Amino acid sequence: MTAVSMFAQTPLLTEQIVAPVVSWPAMIPLAVMALGGLLLLTFASLLGRRVGTPFFTWWTVMTGLIAFATAIPLWAQVQGWDRRVLWWNPENTPAGAFSTVGGAFGVDGFSVLLTMLICLAVPVCALVMAGTSERDGERHVEGPALMILSATGAIVMAGANDLIVLFLGLEVLSLAVYVLAAMNLRRVQSQEAGLKYFVLGAFSSAFFLYGIALVYGGTGSTSLVNITNFLAGNLLLGSSSVLVLLGVALMVAGLAFKVAAVPFHSWSPDVYDGAPTSSVAFMASVVKVAAFAGMVRVLVVGFGTFAADWRPVLQILAVLSLVGGALVALVQTNVKRLLAYSSISHAGFILLGVEAANETGNRAVLVYLVVYTFLVIGSFAVVSIVGRSGDAMHSLDSYRGLGRVAPALAGTFTILLLAQAGVPFTSGFYAKFYAVIAAVDTQSAWLAVVAMLSAVIAAYLYLRLVVAMWFVAPGEQTPKPGIRIPATTGVALVLCVAVTLFIGITPGPLTSVVDEAPPAVVQPPAAQGSELPADLLNLLDGGAGQESLTTDPGSLPSTSGGNP
């Protein structure tokens, strides 16, 4: 190889640069979020003291809702609905899942559905945050802005078709959340939580990235399209699969950290405890949604051919999270830590769905994510109110006799807790139901038994809290009667309870939508006017050209369908 100095006069490539084909409609939800965050910061700094928390909240809610609305036509496109819903010329993009920007970003049922979920979760989190800011007399624009930008990263992760894009999405998501965790300058615990989250988060990101590097060595590309093509065309056996297996293992470790699966969970109780409660609501919902989306994209879609290798690992993680989360939660006396452990246990249930790696598993993952998002935001909204001014009162004693002091608040919390326990007629029941079905479906009945046992343990935990609220006399730390529920937090609570009860009573709409949302990785369309030599033009070799290669997770037969 002849070394070429950077400064030497070398012949320049004379060919035209061919930009990759971009499907702009697919970019709109992302662009709305990114621009929404930037404009919010701009307006806040231009208008100064003339605007406050109400404006920031209004803006965040509108950004989320507009991004949600712009994702609906994408859903129509993917599902091949009547073209009148679409506002662009659909001739270029045939109905069905597609990928864009040179195959870097995929638009399929899975990614669009999760994009919509994230876009809805942001406004609800913003309402909760507005409540605490108003109560504590804070006026900061950074919280809502960081939430919007972080959600941009989450959307990128949901649609990432390239491991590098996935990693960048993960970093956008995580860096913003580190700041959200450390943002409460009044409590030093908040900075400690942020620092702890940051250090361990950077640690896990490095593992994830090392995994990408090894996979790159093993498959020759970081693009999921190329990886699936390569793995479909080459049988990797024995020593030639070493790099891929190691890489996948490291990526699983990195993602398991983000979803806080045991034994990668040690940060989550501390961080949940120290971070501002309204940030925790975001952290527990959107971050988990994005991390599970990334996990599904990497494992189920990208490395589905290695399922026999990664499934046992996920089974172990799931069992440890299910049992460990529920058991350790029993001895907690701090409600935020208790909810942190319970969310570890929830992560175990979602892992059951990922582990199944088929249609049933996909349904389990998506139903659980939708249900859990609203449950956890609602629960932390209640915690943020009971934590009172300064966000410091989170011991179990603060909840004693809450039913007598603030019946509405306690009633709301009771519904959300019962739903987390999986009581029938709440959304949590169906979430757990589908997760267990997914385990049974893949002939891992023992996993289903473990899941149900852990659900029983966790039920005791939630009931303990419910009993403390309704059947115990108020104590010293219980809020005084007439504790103020900020209007915005109230709205968020009503929304969360409404979603919980609606899904619990009529799960049909959700499951029918979820069943139309399989993850896929699709060959990007060929760039037009490709005058570049083949070796510089990229991506599109590997074979298929216009023909699309769809990888659905559906290798295993599905035994359950429809609604129970």
Partner 1 sequence: MRSIDAGYLVLAAILFSIGAFGLLVRRNPLVMLMCVELMLNAVNLTFVAFGMMLGDLAGQVTVLFVLVVAAAEVVVGLGIVVAMARRRPGATADDIRVLRG
Partner 2 sequence: METTTVEYVVFGLCALIVLAGAFGVIWFRNPVQAALSLVATLFGVAVLFLNMNAQFLAAVQVIVYTGAIVVLILFVIMLLGVDVEEDLEEEPLVGQRVIALVIAAGVAGLVVAGVTVAGADLVSGARAVTGSIVDDVSNVEQIGRLLFTDYVFALEITAVLLTIAVIAAVVMSRRPGDVEPLPTEDASMEPPAEMEPEAEEVFD
| Beta-bridge partners for 334 | 395
Instruction: Work out which of 80, 220, 543, 545 binds partner 1, going by CB under 8 A.
Output: 220
In angstroms, the CA 394 to CA 375 distance is: 18
**Interface stretch with partner 1, choices 119-127, 214-222, 323-331, 395-403 (CB under 8 A):** 214-222
**How many residues lie near partner 2 (CB under 8 A)?**
91
Please report, as residue ranges, which positions from 173 to 212 form the binding site for partner 2 (by CB under 8 A). 175-176, 178-179, 182-183, 185-189, 207, 210
Minimum CB separation of residue 192 from partner 2 in Å reads 10
Q: Which of 19, 44, 42, 550 is nearest to 301 (CA)?
A: 550
Q: Is 65 in the site for partner 2 (CB under 8 A)?
A: no
Instruction: Work out which of 113, 172, 369, 458 binds partner 2, going by CB under 8 A.
Output: 172
Q: Is 206 in the site for partner 1 (CB under 8 A)?
A: yes
The separation between CA 103 and the C-alpha centre of its own chain, rounded to angstroms, equals: 22
CA geometry: angle at 124 spanning 351 and 62, to 5°?
125
Instruction: Work out which of 75, 198, 230, 257 binds partner 1, going by CB under 8 A.
Output: 198
Q: Which of 117, 520, 538 is nearest to 302 (CA)?
A: 520
33 vs 214 by CB, closer to partner 1: 214
Q: Is 312 in the site for partner 2 (CB under 8 A)?
A: no
Q: Is 185 in the site for partner 1 (CB under 8 A)?
A: yes
In angstroms, the CA 364 to CA 318 distance is: 14
The separation between CA 262 and the C-alpha centre of its own chain, rounded to angstroms, equals: 18
Q: What is the DSSP string of 416-479?
A: HHHHHHT-TTSHHHHHHHHHHHHHHHTT-HHHHHHHHHHHHHHHHHHHHHHHHHHSS---SSSP
In angstroms, the CA 423 to CA 336 distance is: 22
For residues 381 and 276, the answer to whether their CB atoms sit within 8 Å is no
Q: Which of 483, 477, 470 is nearest to 382 (CA)?
A: 483
Return the one option of partner 1, partner 2, none that residue 480 interacts with (CB less than 5 to 8 A, by type).
partner 2
Return the one option of partner 2, partner 1, none that residue 18 interacts with (CB less than 5 to 8 A, by type).
partner 2
198 vs 429 by CB, closer to partner 1: 198
Q: Is 504 in the site for partner 1 (CB under 8 A)?
A: no
Q: Which two tokens stand for residue 70?
A: 């712009």
* Mask for 153-172, x = binds partner 1 (CB under 8 A): -----------x--xx--x-
Return the one option of partner 2, partner 1, none that residue 192 interacts with (CB less than 5 to 8 A, by type).
partner 1
Measured torsion, CA atoms of residues 148, 149, 154, 156, in degrees rounded to the nearest 10:
130
Instruction: Work out which of 13, 19, 22, 202 binds partner 1, going by CB under 8 A.
Output: 202
Please tell me what DSSP assigns to residue 222. S
| Beta-bridge partners for 106 | 99
Minimum CB separation of residue 272 from partner 1 in Å reads 10
What does each C-alpha distance from 43 to 151, 156, 540 come to in angstroms?
Answer: 20, 25, 42
276 vs 353 by CB, closer to partner 2: 276
Q: Is 16 in the site for partner 2 (CB under 8 A)?
A: no
* Biggest distance spanned by C-alpha atoms of the chain: 84
Instruction: Work out which of 53, 221, 332, 362 binds partner 2, going by CB under 8 A.
Output: 221
144 vs 361 by CB, closer to partner 2: 144
Tokens 């007399």, located at residue: 137
* Mask for 367-406, x = binds partner 2 (CB under 8 A): ---------------------xxx-xx-------------
Q: Is 136 in the site for partner 2 (CB under 8 A)?
A: yes
Q: Which of 66, 36, 34, 40 is nearest to 140 (CA)?
A: 40
Q: Is 18 in the site for partner 2 (CB under 8 A)?
A: yes
> Which residues have C-beta within 8 Å of that of residue 235, sequence separation ≥ 6?
none
**How many residues lie near partner 1 (CB under 8 A)?**
36
Return the one option of partner 1, partner 2, none that residue 389 interacts with (CB less than 5 to 8 A, by type).
partner 2
Minimum CB separation of residue 490 from partner 2 in Å reads 17
Tokens 């003339």, located at residue: 50
Residues at the contact surface with partner 1, assessed by CB under 8 A:
164, 167-168, 171, 175, 178-179, 182, 185, 188-189, 191-196, 198-199, 202-203, 205-206, 209-210, 212-214, 216-217, 220-222, 270, 273-274
